[in-house]
Amino acid sequence: MNHYETIYIVNPTLDDDSLREAITKFSDLIKKLKGYIVKINEWGKKKLAYEVKHFDKGYYVVLDFCGLPKIVTELERNLKLDDRILKYLTVKIDEDVDPEDLLNKEQKKEDKMEERHSESVEEK
């Protein structure tokens, strides 16, 4: 399996339910096509470098996943057809990766960050 990262920008005027639905739609699509979600990172509303579809802001989402190339094709097709998505970009990060290793590494990172956070809270 290959390791991919897709960044997509969602319409910033959506309510919370519609935003959650859009994010869930694409992660569910990857799971349905037998891919593995490594991480979903929401960056939130940010100012765009230039106006896109008459918007100067957008809600950024980073989707880190593993799968076969056909998953990327289907994901990008769905992103293109969804009116809530302003722009998207997919990058192949690595080839022939073990999804379980990536998931374990990501879990260890999160555990370390949580540990640091709890230590800094205890110091205060």
Which CATH number covers residue 85? 3.30.70.60
**Does 123 fall in a domain?**
no
The answer to whether residues 67 and 30 touch, using CB atoms and an 8 Å cutoff, is: yes
Is 43 inside any structural domain? yes
Q: Are 69 and 4 in contact (CB under 8 A)?
A: no
- The answer to whether position 117 is within a domain reads no
Task: Confirm whether 65 is domain-assigned.
Answer: yes
Query: Could you tell me if residue 93 is inside a domain?
Result: yes
Number of domains in the chain: 1
CB neighbourhood size of 48 (10 A): 16
29 part of a folded domain: yes
With respect to residue 118, please indicate whether it lies within any of the assigned structural domains: no
Residue 115: band (very low, low, confident or very high) from pLDDT cuts 50, 70, 90: confident
Could you tell me the pTM of the whole model? 0.81
Cβ-Cβ contacts under 8 Å for 7 (sequence gap 6 or more) = 60, 61, 62, 63, 88, 89
In a domain, 57, yes or no: yes
Q: Look up the domain containing 91 and give its range.
A: 2-97
pLDDT one-digit tens code per residue, 55-83 = 999 999 999 999 999 999 999 999 999 99
- The fraction of the chain above a pLDDT of 70, given in percent, is 94
Give, as one character, the DSSP assignment of residue 53.
T
